[in-house]
Structure 1
Amino acid sequence: MLQHLITQAEDLRMVPTDHDQLTIAVEKIREELQALPEGADIARARVLARWTGIGLLSLGHHDDARVFLRQALDLAEASGNSRAVIATQLNLGDAYRYAGEAENADVFYRRALDGARGQHPELVDFALQHLGKHLMEQGSLAPARAHLQEALRLRTTKGDAGLIESTQAAVDRVELLISHASADTPASEDGAAEAAQWSRRWTSWLQSRTTVWTSARWEEGFPALRDAVRDLTAHERVHPHHLRDQSFPVELLVGMAEEAEKALATDGYLHNGKWNAAVGEAANRFAGQVDLAAVVARSTGLEVDQPHNGVYIAYLEEGQFLDFHLDEFGFGEANLILCLKHDRLTAAAAVSCTVFINADGYRECDLAPGDCVVFDGALTPHGRTPLGVGERVILACFGFRARDQAPRTVNQLPPVPR
Structure 2
Amino acid sequence: MLQHLITQDENLRMVPTDRDALTTAAAGLREELRNPATDADRRRMLTRWAGIASTALGDYQSARTFLRQALDLATAGSNTRAVIATQLNLGDAYRYAGETHTADTLYRSALDTARAQQPDLLDYALQHFAKHLMERGDLDGARAHLREALRLRQAKGDAELIESTQAAVDRVEMLLAPTGASAPAESSQWSSRWTSWLQAHTSTHVPHRWNDGFPTIRGSVRALTQHARVHPQHLRNQFPPELLSAMTEEAEKALAAEGYLHNGKWNAPVGDAANRFADEVDLASAVTRATGLDVEQPHTGVYIAYLDEGQFLDFHLDELGFGEANLILCLKHERPAAGSAASTIVFITADGYRACDLAPGDCVVFDGALTPHGRTPHAAGESVVLISFGFHARNRVPWAAGHLPPAPR
Q: Is residue 86–residue 116 contact of structure 1 (8 Å, CA) maintained in 2?
A: no
Structure 1 residues 237 and 109 mapped into 2: Cα distance closer, same or farther (>3 Å)?
Answer: closer
Does residue 305 in structure 1 map to residue 318 in structure 2?
no
2:337 and 2:381 in contact (8 A); partners too: no
Q: Which runs of 5+ in 1 are unaligned?
A: 1-11, 13-80, 90-103, 151-161
Please name the residue that 1:70 is paired with.
none
- 1:236 maps to 2:232: no
Which residue in 1 is equivalent to 2:336? 345
Distance 1:136 1:275, change over 3 A: farther
Any idea what the Cα deviations from partners look like across 1:30-87, whole Å, max 9, x if unmatched? xxxxxxxxxxxxxxxxxxxxxxxxxxxxxxxxxxxxxxxxxxxxxxxxxxx6545568
Higher CA-based Rg: 1
2:36: which partner in 1?
none
Give the partner amino acid of 1:335. N
Quote the offset at 1:348 in angstroms: 3.6
Is 1:388 equivalent to 2:364 in the alignment?
Answer: no
Instruction: Give how far 1:362 is off.
Output: 0.4
Query: What amino acid does structure 1 have at the position aligned with 2:215?
Result: P
Match of 1:224 among 192, 216, 220: 216
Residue type at the aligned position of 1:244:
R
After TM superposition, list the pairs within 5 Å mapping 1:183-332 onto structure 2.
Answer: 194-246=186-238, 248-332=239-323
Paired position in structure 1 for 2:20: none
Change beyond 3 A, Cα 1:387–1:146:
farther
Aligned-partner SS, 1:256: helix
Asked if 1:417 is matched to 2:408, the reply is yes
Answer yes or no: is the 8 Å Cα contact 2:186–2:402 preserved in 1: no
Counterpart AA for 1:211: S
Identical residues among aligned pairs (%): 57
State whether residues 212 and 323 of structure 1, in contact with CA within 8 Å, keep that contact through their aligned partners in structure 2: yes
Q: 1:227: Cα distance to partner?
A: 1.0
> Retained in 2: the 8 A contact 1:141–1:174?
no
Give CA deviations for 1:276-320 in whole Å, capped at 9, x if unaligned: 011100000000001111111111100100001000000000110
TM-score, normalization by structure 2: 0.62
Q: Matches of residues 354-393 of structure 1 in structure 2 within 5 Å?
A: 354-393=345-384
Corresponding residue SS for 1:330: helix
1:315 touches 1:394 (CA, 8 Å); kept in 2? yes
Contact preservation (8 Å) 1:144, 1:174: no
Structure 1 residues 137 and 345: alpha-carbon distance in aligned structure 2, compared to 1, 3 A threshold: closer
Deviation at 1:329, TM superposition (A): 2.3
Query: d(CA) in 2 for partners of 1:136 and 1:406?
Result: 38
CA separation of 1:273/1:182 partners in 2, compared to 1, >3 Å: closer, same or farther? Answer: closer
Name the CA shift for 1:179/1:115 in 2 (closer, same or farther; >3 Å).
closer
**CA distance in structure 2 between the partners assigned to 1:327 and 1:287 by the alignment:** 21
Shift of 1:243: 0.3
Over 3 Å counting, the alpha-carbon distance change for 1:416 and 1:349 in structure 2 is same
Tell me the residue number matched to 1:397.
388
- CA distance in structure 2 between the partners assigned to 1:175 and 1:230 by the alignment: 33
Deviations 1:387-416 (CA, angstroms, capped at 9, x unpaired): 111100000000000012312211111111
Change (3 A) 1:143 1:381: farther
User: What secondary structure sits across from 2:327 in the alignment?
Assistant: strand
Unaligned runs of 5+ in 2: 1-11, 13-60, 70-79, 129-134, 158-168, 174-182
- Residue 86 of structure 2 corresponds to 110
In the alignment, the residues of structure 2 paired with residue 374 and residue 178 of structure 1 have an alpha-carbon distance, to the nearest angstrom, of 24
Following superposition, the deviation at residue 136 of structure 1 comes to 10
C-alpha spacing 1:279/1:304, structure 2 compared with 1 (3 Å): same
Q: Deviations over 1:108-129 (max 9, x none)?
A: 8625748999xxxx99xx9999
The CA RMSD over aligned residues, in Å, is 4.4
SS at structure 1 position matched to 2:201: coil
